[in-house]
Structure 1
Amino acid sequence: MISPPKMSVSLLLVGMNGNGKSSTGNSILGKKVFTPRGSNASGKEEILAGSSIIDDKEIRVIEGPGIGETNVNDPEDVKLTLSHVKDAMLLGAGGFNAVIFLLRYGVRFTKQEKDTLSMIKAIFGENVIKDYCVIAMSFGDTFDSDRAENNMSFELWCENQKGDVKNLFDECGHRYVLFNNKSTDQWALRIQRDMLLSIVDKLQPINGPYSLNDYDKAEPGRRRLLVSSKLQLLEEENQKVVDNINET
């Protein structure tokens, strides 16, 4: 008789579509569960989850919606994103142990990335990055190619970052892991996964899992998101009326 795992860990993957959420989720689970959506995806796809038993733990990965692709000026789009986030919470058995925020190595940190972080805070609470976020830096194969030329470790590269990236690293307590999702080296894949899970384990005695109760407490932020989107839509409609009057 196979005994059940001693504990479970739920990870919510968030970030821009095209930054490697699906591939990183597959690397964490050690099998293909998620299909990459690409940077042109709308973010309106079904929310999926997968799990694996690793070292007597059930590791559950939930691929969150493409929050960065949400049109914050469209109330219906905001509602859809919030609905998908709630689905992700339920797939995580009512919460998660860490938010894994995907960044893509070799791509400039844009205003859209910054806006994505702001939206994540509005949805989950102002302290969610500080208390629960781990950065997964995808496209580690590109980093490895660059390192062959400059001989710089990933940790040193992170320490050398400036501006918004440095601010993000500071806010999340310098919790970051490089992921090479194209590697065929099983040992290397295990090391990067174990590094991530080790960081997540260290979060638990401090904050405990993010729960539905935490999510409920963040309701004012989600309400402000929706109100803001409606106000913006109203302003656009008023401007159209003014433009039509001016044309007559």
Structure 2
Amino acid sequence: MYEVTCPPYTADDLKNIFAANQDPDMSLLVVKEGFSPDMVWQEVENLKRITRKPTEEFIVVLPFGYKESDRYPFKCYTMEYLFSKLTHLAEDRHLMPTNTSLAGQPASSTPTSPSLEGFTDPRKRLKRKPSGTEVNLVLLGMSGTGKSASGNTILGEKEFTSKASSKPVTTECQQAETEIGGRCVRVIDTPDIFDDERKSSIKEHVKKCKELCQSEPCVYLLVIHVSRFTDGEKNILKKLERAFGSKVTEQTVILFTRGGDLKQGEMSFEEFSHRCQPDLKKIVEKCDRRCVLFENSDSGPDQVEKLMEIVDRMLI
């Protein structure tokens, strides 16, 4: 059974509501068409002040027709995504048949977004620990794709050695931790486990990686150079499945590096997604089009925020 609470209330009322509901499934702020992002952000900040909950726990529900890809300073869901999320929550709790959607259509007919960036199938989620405060991000990819540099971007400081070299720089699994949006994030950097010439050491690297991320949940970041897709990467998902199991793609996000190369070529990420090689498209499709674009020479927080939005959706 769902309990839906609809403000407005006084500050004391809100305190009492959240005191009685310490861990709500969602805290939604529904806005009207033509809303002012600044006013909504002020309201989110006001809710944070009154309830002492992190701002990211308050989700703004956008009117029909609005897109999450629009830049907003707050966490938001479209109405369509909210319905999908509620459906998934109901299915998990056996409140409705698993083969139906809110619209009464088979779940398999639920439309998917045409956009690559940030897309997540709402029926495919990772199970997380009850606390929901920790996540392991495992950087995987071939040498020279920018794993270590991406790890440093996520961490906001240089913890992993990253430099131009004709030889692999990362030779052992390493880890470092940070906090992003109130969540403890452990970043695990790995050597190239896809190099067939180093089969003797790959098993040890995979074993060490699994030991480091025993505490769940775990999200794998498959790092690929946006301007260089090699023959060795065409079968990278098969190698990934051999190392971490057949369902690893359900826990994988494609992290494209060297986003500046697209900017130089005056190409958007969306255009790149349509023009990239068929084998790369297959990899993206297999990972349910969960993608993010990084430029590691850019210290801006937007790209990390975008990644964590995708991760958060996987963990819901």
- The answer to whether the superposition gives a TM-score over 0.5 is yes
1:143 paired residue number: 262
Q: CA deviation at 1:169?
A: 1.2
Q: CA deviation at 1:100?
A: 0.3
Give the AA of the match of 2:235: D
Deviations for 1:3-57, whole angstroms, at most 9, x for unmatched residues?
xx97111101000110000000000111111112656435871210011112211
Query: Is 1:8 matched up with 2:123?
Result: no
* Secondary structure of the corresponding residue to residue 265 of structure 2: helix
Q: Is the 8 A contact 1:42 1:69 kept in 2?
A: no
Q: Is the 8 A contact 1:102 1:138 kept in 2?
A: yes
**Equivalents in 2 of 1:86, 1:124: separation in Å?**
10
**Equivalents in 2 of 1:97, 1:124: separation in Å?**
11
Q: TM-score, normalised by structure 1?
A: 0.69
Q: Which runs of 5+ in 2 are unaligned?
A: 1-130
- Relative contact order, higher structure (CA 8 A, sep 6+): 1
* Secondary structure of the corresponding residue to residue 288 of structure 2: coil
Aligned length: 186
1:174 paired residue number: 289
Matched ranges for 1:58-69 at <5 A: 58-69=184-195
1:238 paired residue number: none
Matched ranges for 1:132-211 at <5 A: 132-147=251-266, 152-184=267-299, 189-205=300-316
Give the AA of the match of 1:165: L
Q: TM-score, normalised by structure 2?
A: 0.55
* Secondary structure of the corresponding residue to residue 174 of structure 1: coil
Q: Which has the higher helix share?
A: 1
- Aligned mate of 1:35, from 143, 156, 161: 161
**Equivalents in 1 of 2:248, 2:164: separation in Å?**
26
Give the AA of the match of 1:101: L
Aligned-CA RMSD value: 2.1
2:145 paired residue number: 19
**Equivalents in 2 of 1:66, 1:37: separation in Å?**
15
Give the AA of the match of 2:225: R
**Equivalents in 1 of 2:170, 2:178: separation in Å?**
26
**Equivalents in 2 of 1:65, 1:16: separation in Å?**
8
* Secondary structure of the corresponding residue to residue 234 of structure 2: helix
The list of structure 1 runs, each at least 4 consecutive aligned residues, that deviate by more than 6 angstroms after superposition, is none
Give the AA of the match of 2:237: L
Give the AA of the match of 1:57: R
Give the AA of the match of 1:84: H
Q: Is the 8 A contact 2:252 2:287 kept in 1?
A: yes
Give the AA of the match of 1:105: V
Q: Which runs of 5+ in 1 are unaligned?
A: 72-76, 206-248
**Equivalents in 1 of 2:243, 2:148: separation in Å?**
21
* Secondary structure of the corresponding residue to residue 120 of structure 1: helix
Among all aligned residue pairs of Structure 1 and Structure 2, give the percentage whose two residues are the same amino acid: 31
Q: Relative to 1, partners in 2 of residues 1:37 and 1:183: Cα closer, same or farther, differing over 3 Å?
A: closer
Structure showing greater radius of gyration is 2
**Equivalents in 1 of 2:145, 2:233: separation in Å?**
10
2:238 paired residue number: 118
1:213 paired residue number: none
Give the AA of the match of 1:116: I
